[in-house]
Structures are given as C-alpha cells and as structure tokens.
C-alpha cells in the first residue's frame, strides 16, 4: 500500500466539506482527494436513473486514475440511490452517507423529528426503511430543499446570506401538519451543516440540528485501521522523518469553473491546499 493512496471524498459540490472536517480529525495522517462533481451538479433535482448511472461510472474512472485506499461518498442523495451499485463495482472499502434518523429519534423528546434534505433524498425508500427501523415511535416529517444547496455553495464563495431565504426553507418544514412539535431536525444533505448557523438563527424556537458526519468519520477510521491490519501495516499512511503531519490535500472539479479568491481562502481553512480539474 503506497503512502500516496488518498482517501477519496466525493460529493456533487462542496457540501461534503462538512464531512471532511470530521474526517481530517479522525484520519489526520491521510492525504485527501476531495472530488466535487460540478459537472453533474446539482444531484437533488435529478432522477434516480440519472444518479444511478452517473455516480458509479464517474467513481469508477476516479478510482482507476487515483487508486484511493478508501472511498467516502459524502452525499446523501448519491448514497441513498447509488451506494449498492458503487460497492458492487469497486474493489475497495466504501463509506456512504445516510440521514441521521437513528440518533435523531433517540434525542427527540417530542417524538416528532424533521428531515431536511434534497428532493431526491427524502423520497427514497431507504429513508422509509430508516424511519421504520429506528424511529417507529416518532412522527417523521420530511421536506426537500434545493435552495439550501445553492445557498451553501454561495456562502463558500463568500456571498452574503439573506436570512429571509433560510427562514423560508425552514418554515416549509415547520409549517407542515404537526411540524410545530418538531424538536430535532436531521440535516440530510451534506451541504446543510455548512449553513447550520443560519438555520439556527431563523428558527422560531430552539431546535437541535444534527447530521451524520461524526459517524462517517468513525466508520472511515475503522475501515482504514482494518485495511492496515490486513496489509500488516501500522498505518496506511506512515510518515517518514522528513514529513510533518500535513498531507497534501486536493480539491478536484469534474468540469471547469470559476475559482474566486474568497473561495480559495475558505477551502484552505478546510485543509485543501490545491485545486485541480479532471
């Protein structure tokens, strides 16, 4: 296992940065290749067939080119639709992202929880199964939002946030029947934790917003350690004496895009040192 084999983190855009933060704490020694599929963005408004076709094919090419040690699909929409196809096609450990309904059900006192995701995610049977298995004693209210994805992307570009737009999206969830009893909101899109502060600011009452990033990071650490053990290594990414614990982390776009100075600064804060194109 070569030390250059990265952890490939994949999303339709920059939403997976919310997962990347937890991953870097869990795997500080691992080089990260973060892939933003801006060529296919946004996923949330696409059909299941489009996503099930595009994601495995694109990931297959990326794995062949960059030979990662581990793949993290940091996208709820891609995971709930394409994860089984990806796992069957690729010969490497794969971590998916699913709505954090299980922990939400445990934390809710009112037994009414909200799930805020993309339209493509909230309509998936997988969400039905999670609700039935882990939140059978709860009312699960879902709301899709493509606008929050756009707002999160704009925030990373340095654009000012209009809180009224966040208020509008949150109200669409809370104004549903029994929505007034929601006390926990699952952020079922990796873009949404990036605007958690804005959602908290416009909430009409204290709400607990949760996501699955910590669980994803723990799973990635477990799989990395398990793979190292099978390869009879202490670590998949051992450092030599001349290396500091600062792996070269890259952001890769699948299509040309304008890179603004403010955005460069924001991704550097996330530990991504270089921007490249597929």
Percent helix, strand, coil in the chain (nearest 5)? 45, 15, 40
State yes or no: 191 annotated in a binding site. Answer: yes
State yes or no: 76 annotated in a binding site. Answer: yes
State yes or no: 131 annotated in a binding site. Answer: no
State yes or no: 129 annotated in a binding site. Answer: no
* 44 CB-side CA count, 13 A: 23
State yes or no: 211 annotated in a binding site. Answer: no
Tell me, what DSSP letter sits at residue 49? H
Chain length of the chain? 278
State yes or no: 44 annotated in a binding site. Answer: yes
Of 138, 189, 231, 262, which one is the catalytic site residue? 189
Q: Is 189 a catalytic residue?
A: yes
Tell me, what DSSP letter sits at residue 193? G
On whether the CB atoms of residues 196 and 187 are closer than 8 A, the answer is yes
Sequence-distant (≥ 6) Cβ neighbours of residue 28 within 8 angstroms: 245
On whether the CB atoms of residues 196 and 166 are closer than 8 A, the answer is no
Q: Is 262 a catalytic residue?
A: no
**Residues annotated within a binding site for substrate:** 11-12, 43-44, 76-77, 190-191
Catalytically annotated residues:
75, 189
**Residues annotated within a binding site:** 11-12, 43-44, 76-77, 190-191
């Amino acid at each position: 296992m070569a030390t250059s084999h990265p952890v490939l983190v994949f999303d339709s855009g920059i939403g997976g940065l919310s997962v990347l933060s937890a991953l870097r704490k869990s795997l500080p020694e691992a080089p990260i290749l973060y892939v933003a599929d801006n060529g296919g963005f946004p996923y949330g408004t696409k059909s299941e067939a489009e996503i099930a076709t595009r994601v495995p094919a694109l990931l297959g090419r990326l794995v062949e080119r960059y030979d990662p040690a581990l793949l993290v699909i940091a996208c709820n929409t891609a995971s709930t639709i394409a994860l089984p196809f990806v796992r069957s096609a690729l010969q490497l450990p794969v971590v998916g992202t699913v709505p954090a309904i299980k922990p939400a059900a445990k934390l809710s006192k009112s037994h009414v929880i909200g799930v805020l995701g993309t339209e493509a995610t909230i309509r998936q049977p997988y969400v039905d199964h999670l609700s039935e298995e882990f939140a059978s004693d709860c009312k699960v209210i879902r709301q899709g939002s493509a606008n929050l994805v756009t707002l999160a992307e704009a925030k990373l570009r340095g654009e000012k946030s209009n809180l009224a737009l966040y208020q509008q999206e949150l109200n669409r969830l809370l104004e549903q029947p029994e929505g007034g009893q929601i006390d926990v909101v699952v952020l079922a899109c990796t873009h949404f934790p990036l605007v958690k502060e804005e959602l908290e600011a416009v909430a009409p009452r204290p709400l607990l917003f949760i996501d699955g990033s910590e669980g994803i990071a723990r799973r990635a650490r477990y799989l990395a350690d398990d793979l190292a053990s099978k390869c009879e290594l202490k670590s998949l990414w051992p450092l030599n004496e001349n290396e500091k614990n600062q792996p070269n982390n890259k952001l890769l776009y699948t299509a040309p895009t304008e890179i603004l100075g403010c955005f460069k600064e924001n991704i550097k804060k996330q530990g991504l040192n270089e921007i490249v194109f597929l």
